[in-house]
């Protein structure tokens, strides 16, 4: 079964064609980093305009690369949220139009669920459920009990910033361009992670929730002193030390809470999803302990449409077919 996936939740426009939920025939992503770089974050209006410009060329490219035409497609899966409302509407409208014109089933996909599925489709192994899902993206941070594909129970989540957002904001403090995660990771390699004693946030009586906004503020004070309005320029080594200390504190928090949750929930398999899983330091940390870890392949870590098409196959088999009244959802919880 061939599914066309469409992704436009934030600043990537993507189309992919995936066979039977796993075999990726094409996976085209048009990133907007060049557009948002100078603003230190995604500008929604600019994102929408770019989605309009590139959506159809990206669709054509996905078909050409897969050596398929629209009539070969069996169903259309689209990320219906969470994300920026205007950006979501563009993907949704494209998917609905194709579904209507071609008379093919339409499937609405939760982008966050798809991030976890990206790791599942990256491996051939049969997964023993329940597994622990760890969502580490630019907009979300959550620990989820996965009872099966499509069946989840939320264990914990961030009460303020997402982990990727915290990386991006710390990078912005250091005058580094968006997206900040990869920049911080590179600087951290040359820095001393113990230079600043930074503590990740704890949420009272909720051991599996995250809070990164306090950590972000202590990075600011530690790097620039209390008088943040008159920031002195940091030396290159100081920048590296700030990046290393922040990254060490943030990743240790993820590490500790993930292993605690896996132990408490009796999960032996841990499935990771979201753009922050691109971080090799994070991957190395986890590979030192005794669980079965499933990471998305590097091409499926960041936003992409292969994960949307892949998960779409399972939703189709489960009979979860939408109609033209399918709505965009700026937030969806597990
Ligand atoms: O999952 P994603 O592509 O988009 C959302 O659904 O949000 O994640 C993007 C996030 C950005 O915040 C970016 O800075 C972060 O992933 N990221 C990283 C790395 N690569 C991307 N964070 C830390 N280290 C990285 N190497
Ligand atoms: Zn994402």
- Encode the chain (334 residues) as per-residue pLDDT tens digits: 999 999 999 999 999 999 999 999 999 999 998 899 888 789 999 999 999 999 999 999 999 999 999 999 999 999 999 999 999 999 999 999 999 999 999 999 999 999 999 999 999 999 999 999 999 999 999 999 999 999 999 999 999 999 999 999 999 999 998 899 999 999 999 999 999 999 889 999 999 999 999 999 999 998 888 776 777 789 999 999 999 999 999 999 999 999 999 999 999 999 999 999 999 999 999 987 789 999 999 899 999 999 999 999 999 999 999 999 999 999 998 8
Closest Cα to atom 22 of ligand 1: 181
Protein residue with least CA distance to atom 13, ligand 1: 181
Res 103: pLDDT: 98
Q: How far is the CA of 334 from the centre of ligand 1 (A)?
A: 20
Q: CA-CA-CA-CA torsion for 247, 180, 59, 62, nearest 10 degrees?
A: -50
Determine the 3-state secondary structure of 331 from DSSP: coil
Q: What is the Cα–Cα distance from 74 to 6, expressed in whole angstroms?
A: 14
CA terminus-to-terminus distance, the chain: 27
Q: What is the pLDDT of residue 204?
A: 94
Residue ID of nearest Cα to ligand 1 atom 10: 138
Residue 148 is predicted with a pLDDT of: 97
Give the residue, out of 302, 307, 330, 332, with the most ligand 1 atoms within 8 A of its beta carbon, to mutate for a pocket test: 302
Four-point Cα dihedral 299, 330, 133, 165, nearest 10: 70
Question: Does residue 279 have its Cβ closer than 6 Å to ligand 1?
Answer: yes
**How open is the CA angle 289-290-291, to the nearest 5 degrees?**
110
Atom of ligand 1 nearest to the CA of 83: 6
Assess whether the C-beta atom of 272 lies below 6 angstroms from ligand 1.
no
What beta strand segments (E) does the chain contain?
2-7, 12-19, 23-31, 75-81, 106-110, 131-136, 141-148, 151-157, 269-273, 292-294
> Which ligand has an atom closest to residue 138 CA?
1
Q: 175, 34 in Cβ contact below 8 A?
A: no
Q: What is the pLDDT of residue 163?
A: 97
| 192 vs 195: CA distance, rounded Å | 5
pLDDT at 200: 87
140 Cα nearest atom in ligand 1: 7
The answer to whether 119 touches 253, Cβ cutoff 8 Å, is no
Please report the atom of ligand 1 found closest to the CA of residue 179: 14
107 strand-pairing partners: 77
- Distance between Cα 219 and ligand 2 center (Å): 25
């Amino acid at each position: 079964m061939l599914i066309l996936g469409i992704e436009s939740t934030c600043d990537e426009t993507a189309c992919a064609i995936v066979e039977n939920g796993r075999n990726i025939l094409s996976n085209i992503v048009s990133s907007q980093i060049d557009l948002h770089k100078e603003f230190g974050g995604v500008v929604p209006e600019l994102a929408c305009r770019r989605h309009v410009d590139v959506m159809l060329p990206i669709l054509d490219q996905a078909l050409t690369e897969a050596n398929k035409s629209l009539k070969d497609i069996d169903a259309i899966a689209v990320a219906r949220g969470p994300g920026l409302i205007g950006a979501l509407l563009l993907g949704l409208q494209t998917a609905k139009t194709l579904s209507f014109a071609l008379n093919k089933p339409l499937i609405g996909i939760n982008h966050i669920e798809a991030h976890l599925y990206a790791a599942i489709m990256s491996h051939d192994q049969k997964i023993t459920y329940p597994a622990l899902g760890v969502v580490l993206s630019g907009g979300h941070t959550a620990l989820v009990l996965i009872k099966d594909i499509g069946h989840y129970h939320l264990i914990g989540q961030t009460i303020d910033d997402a982990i990727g957002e915290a990386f991006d904001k710390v990078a912005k403090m250091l005058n580094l361009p968006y997206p900040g995660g990869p920049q911080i990771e590179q600087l951290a390699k040359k820095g001393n992670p113990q230079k600043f004693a930074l503590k990740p946030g704890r949420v009272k009586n909720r051991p599996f929730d995250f809070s990164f906004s306090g950590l972000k503020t202590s990075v600011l004070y530690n790097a620039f002193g209390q008088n943040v309005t008159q920031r002195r320029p940091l030396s290159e080594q100081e920048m590296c030390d700030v990046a290393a200390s922040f990254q060490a504190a943030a990743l240790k928090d993820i590490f500790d809470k993930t292993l605690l949750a896996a132990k408490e929930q009796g999960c032996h398999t841990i499935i990771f999803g979201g753009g922050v899983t691109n971080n090799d330091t994070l991957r190395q940390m986890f590979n030192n302990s005794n669980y079965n870890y499933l990471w998305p392949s590097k091409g499926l870590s960041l936003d992409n449409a292969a994960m949307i098409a892949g998960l779409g196959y399972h939703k189709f088999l489960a009979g979860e077919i939408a109609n033209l009244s399918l709505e965009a959802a700026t937030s969806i919880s597990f």
